[in-house]
Structure 1
Amino acid sequence: MKKIVVIGGGFAGFWGAAGAIRRAIELGKENEVEVTVVSRDSFLNIRPRFYESDLSKVRIPFERILKPIGVKSVEGNVEGIDLDNKTVNISSSSDTFKLTYDKLVLAAGSSLQIPNIPGLKEHAFSVDTFQEASKLHQHLDNLVSKRSSEGCYTAVVVGAGFTGLEVATEMASMLKHVAEKNGDDPSAVRILLVDHSDIAPEFSEESRAVIKEALSDMGIESFTKVSVKSISDNGVVLSNGEKLPALTTIWTAGVKASPLTSLFPVERDNFGRLPVDEFLRVIGTDDVYAAGDCVRVLTDETNVAMMSCQHAQPQGRFVGYNLVSDLFEKDTLPYKQPSYVTCLDLGDWGALLTEGWDRKVLTKGQDAKEVKINVNTKFLAPPLDDKEEILKEAEPRYIATLDDHLPYRFREDTK
């Protein structure tokens, strides 16, 4: 029996496992392959949706997506990897043990970076994990007990990139709802967006103009080219000395690949990502593949894959296909993903849909919001409880196209 161990149960890890099973079936080797996913919990967490006001549908039990395709799951933390003896050391709440492998996949994702800013760890919230997002929601529910405090309905969001913008625009409606529920005037809500650079620095000028229009229309205030000096339970002090009274501070600035990448004897990039070849094999290692936020790889001739689910999902599919092909000495497929789109949620204002690495604006407002809703509810989650449908989507060249998620009237207008 050939053993495949996948570290990480996110998008890249799940589709890596599913892709491996699919390829094994194609080769008539299903009974010769055992796939195990190691994850810190027993859910596929839809991390890009943790900014939303409703967290009831952002986690999928592995029992509904791994069990149907015959993949085992192990809940625990990876404590070490022995590349020479091909073993993974794991600790759980009750035990420590080892898993052996013939092929290993590192798909452990990334995590929010927490710099050494006074009060950040103690007083700021985030939406990096389900637990952190839930903690933020509980905090908002408890604001009723602090109604008389200055800044009760003020939120400071640190980081004006993709995540920060989605958090800030969603927080505007969330805090208004809280104020109304508490019997207070929703006009008291203030959302303050802070960034050491500028608003949406990674977007094009055309796209940034749309984003700034949305922020202005929503009354969201921006503090740019300034950093955070300290954070307390009642506000933020900026590097220019300005004080922002707020009972809610949310940190979204910066991510880095899983620290497990440091266990491999290769040079990583400034995000901690591993170098891989075109087949997603970790350069300088034997029998190790990687996908998702843990890898630095070109999507085409010039562009590096982003640390996002848009790239993690297909990379997982390619990894699963390639490592099983490698196991049985069959041809592998080079990873390519030439198309690139973004759909940025902008709360009640709508959304912004762009295409290409230059982020050309396709549509904005409520038309784009329909696309974002479709992406979040239909594209991010795999089919449930259905082996045939899951494995159908595990084909490495399977791509849910942008056209699948555009509102009908917008599709017709662009033909």
Structure 2
Amino acid sequence: MTRSTASAPHRIVVLGAGYAGMTAALRVARRTRGRDTRVVLVNATARFTERLRLHQTAAGGELTDFRIPELVAGAGVEFVEGWATAIDAERREIALSTAEGGRTVAYDTLVYALGSATDTTTVPGIEEHAFTLNGQDAAERLAARLAELDAAGGGTVTVSGSGLTGVEAAAEIAESHPALRVVLLGREQPGSMTGPKAKAYLDAALARLGVEVRAGVEVAKVLPDGIELAGGELLPSDASVWTAGVRVSPLAAEAGLATDDRGRVLTEPSLRSTSHPEVWAIGDAAAVRQSYGVLHGTCQSGIPTGMHAADQIARTLRGGAAKPFRFGHLHQPVSLGRHDGVIQFTRPDDTPRGACLTGRRAVAYKEFVSSTPPKTYRLLTRFPVPSTMMWTRGGRRNG
């Protein structure tokens, strides 16, 4: 049953304004311009969070304050600020908590783009005693703590999780706070998903920055002043940063949408929900299967899912059949502080090729792709930007 009538426009609601959601909202507004549609973008905050750069905030850097209302101004997108608390899939309504109180937003078509966050439930003590990069506020809290340690003359910072998020955080903190001891903990070696040349460069950069690497270890508990490893070893930690593992919002599963064992929405090849055809799932919140497996959460794959879903929604509203989504990975860019980096080029399945960039060339490359989304959002309000302009950073961010 649809809410649209002869007098009411077809309401397309995009839930979540991360990289994928912002892309979808602007793209679908562009693709349906002139039709009887209304595009609504819902997000918990009015600030666009540059998740790719939160390690910079955590280390004390200041990012540009991109405001979502400004990014969508003139694009035919209505912005609603509110925290989604429930989805009623039968009534096609989203319950929100806003500054003014509770309200609902109705939809005919829903683009589910709530993304993911660091999982703080896997080990006792994470929620109470660890810092994360789960948003601007969380990164700023970590920055404040690091500043306190600097003022006190030093201390130990542990970063748990040797995936690319952990590597970037450890490198950024070590470079920006040379008086602090930085220890990177993980089950695997940092850069284990890269090729030999890129990994050797990454290892050397971490050593140059003074980052101590403890690989092959498992954290059993996060304590107020330390980390307990499996086996009982205690490591002192004045600031414990957690970057290992991700989780998605439970809203889709609670609403009765078909999800996988991690809570991601199961999709048809077109990115439509397998259980609710009026719902399209994109980005980290979707279990998108390709020939080489289910996509892991990255901005590199998330933005194209937003573009594809927008295009197929417009296509189906015109009476056409939705086309399948096809995607191949391109690269794994890694920051190693503000002045160094490594770019591992990959095959479509994200396994490493032989080629990589290092040093200043890698910094220039990564700065270009990392700064692309806000600029491209502005272009999307004016021009039908081709999908090749939306390729951006990828690689496994957590581990």
Using the size of structure 2 for normalisation, the TM-score is 0.87
Q: Tell whether 2:352 aligns with 1:359.
A: yes
Partner of 1:407: none
Q: Deviations over 1:126-162 (max 9, x none)?
A: 1121110010111122225533xxxx33211000001
Q: Tell whether 2:20 aligns with 1:16.
A: no
Query: Superposed, which structure 2 residues align to 1:327-366 within 5 Å?
Result: 327-347=317-337, 350-356=340-346, 357-360=350-353, 361-366=355-360
Partner of 1:411: none
Contact 2:193/2:351 (8 A) holds in 1: no
Aligned length: 378
Q: Tell whether 2:103 aligns with 1:97.
A: yes
The gaps in structure 2 that reach 5 residues or longer are: 1-8, 393-399
**CA distance 1:400–1:67, change in 2 (3 Å):** closer
Residues in 2 aligned to 1:401 and 1:63: alpha-carbon distance in whole angstroms: 24
The partner residue of 1:222 within 213, 224, 234 is 213
**CA distance 1:118–1:278, change in 2 (3 Å):** closer
Partner of 1:138: 144
Residues in 1 aligned to 2:122 and 2:289: alpha-carbon distance in whole angstroms: 32
Partner of 2:5: none
Contact 1:234/1:247 (8 A) holds in 2: yes
The partner residue of 2:294 within 304, 307, 313 is 304
Secondary structure of 1:362's match? strand
Secondary structure of 1:202's match? coil
Once the two structures are TM-superposed, the CA of residue 71 in structure 1 deviates from its matched residue by 0.7
Residues in 2 aligned to 1:400 and 1:131: alpha-carbon distance in whole angstroms: 27
Secondary structure of 1:382's match? helix
Once the two structures are TM-superposed, the CA of residue 270 in structure 1 deviates from its matched residue by 4.0
Q: Deviations over 1:25-57 (max 9, x none)?
A: 3xx31xx11111111011221111100145532
Residues in 2 aligned to 1:59 and 1:11: alpha-carbon distance in whole angstroms: 15
Residues in 1 aligned to 2:250 and 2:391: alpha-carbon distance in whole angstroms: 33
The gaps in structure 1 that reach 5 residues or longer are: 177-185, 403-415
Q: Deviations over 1:205-250 (max 9, x none)?
A: 4433332222223222111222223333432222233332231111
The partner residue of 2:381 within 355, 365, 390 is 390
Contact 1:314/1:398 (8 A) holds in 2: no
Q: Deviations over 1:71-94 (max 9, x none)?
A: 111111212222222211222133
Partner of 2:74: 68
Partner of 1:376: 370
Contact 1:229/1:238 (8 A) holds in 2: yes
Contact 1:47/1:58 (8 A) holds in 2: no
Q: Tell whether 2:242 aligns with 1:284.
A: no
Once the two structures are TM-superposed, the CA of residue 383 in structure 1 deviates from its matched residue by 4.5
Q: Deviations over 1:328-366 (max 9, x none)?
A: 313544322224211111115611111122222421122
Q: Tell whether 2:170 aligns with 1:168.
A: yes
Deviating beyond 4 angstroms after TM superposition, the runs of 4 or more aligned structure 1 residues are none
Partner of 1:181: none
Contact 1:22/1:321 (8 A) holds in 2: no
For the aligned residue pairs, the C-alpha RMSD in angstroms reads 2.3
Secondary structure of 1:38's match? strand
Residues in 2 aligned to 1:200 and 1:362: alpha-carbon distance in whole angstroms: 13
The partner residue of 1:127 within 112, 130, 133 is 133
Residues in 2 aligned to 1:344 and 1:121: alpha-carbon distance in whole angstroms: 27
Partner of 1:157: 159
Secondary structure of 1:283's match? coil
Once the two structures are TM-superposed, the CA of residue 173 in structure 1 deviates from its matched residue by 1.2
Percentage of matched positions with identical amino acids: 25
Contact 1:46/1:381 (8 A) holds in 2: no
Contact 2:373/2:390 (8 A) holds in 1: no
- Which letter does structure 1 place at the counterpart of 2:31? R
Secondary structure of 2:294's match? coil
Contact 1:19/1:321 (8 A) holds in 2: yes
Contact 1:104/1:289 (8 A) holds in 2: yes
Query: Could you tell which deviates more after superposition, 189-198 or 36-45?
Result: 189-198
Once the two structures are TM-superposed, the CA of residue 283 in structure 1 deviates from its matched residue by 0.7
**CA distance 1:341–1:115, change in 2 (3 Å):** same
- Which letter does structure 2 place at the counterpart of 1:302? Y
